[in-house]
Structure 1
Amino acid sequence: VLKVFKLLHRTRQEVFKNDTKALEAARQKINEEFRSNRDETSEEKINEV
C-alpha cells in the first residue's frame, strides 16, 4: 500500500509539473483518500480502492 501511495505522489509531480494549484489539490486528495482507508484490513477492499 505504501508503494502505491509513493507512486501516486511521483505520478502527480510529473503530470502537474508546472501547476502548483493542481499539485496541491492532487496531494490533498491522495492523502485524504489514504487516510480515510488507513484502518482497512480486508485485502478485497484494499484492492478495490
Structure 2
Amino acid sequence: MFVDRRRVRQHVRLCLQRDTIGLLGNALRNPAKAATRSNDGEPPLCAAPDR
C-alpha cells in the first residue's frame, strides 16, 4: 500500500494545530481551570498555581 508521506505530515500538522488552538482557547477563556487539569484528566506537565 502506497502512502503519500506529504499527506500524512500535512494531516498530522493540521491535527496538532487544531489541538493547539483549542488548548489556547480554553486557557484564555478559563485560566484557572486550564492550569489544573487538561481535557483528558491528566495533570499538566508544568503549572504554577495562581494566587
Which structure shows the bigger proportion of residues in helix conformation? 1
Please report the TM-score for the alignment, with normalisation by the length of structure 2: 0.42
Please report the TM-score for the alignment, with normalisation by the length of structure 1: 0.44
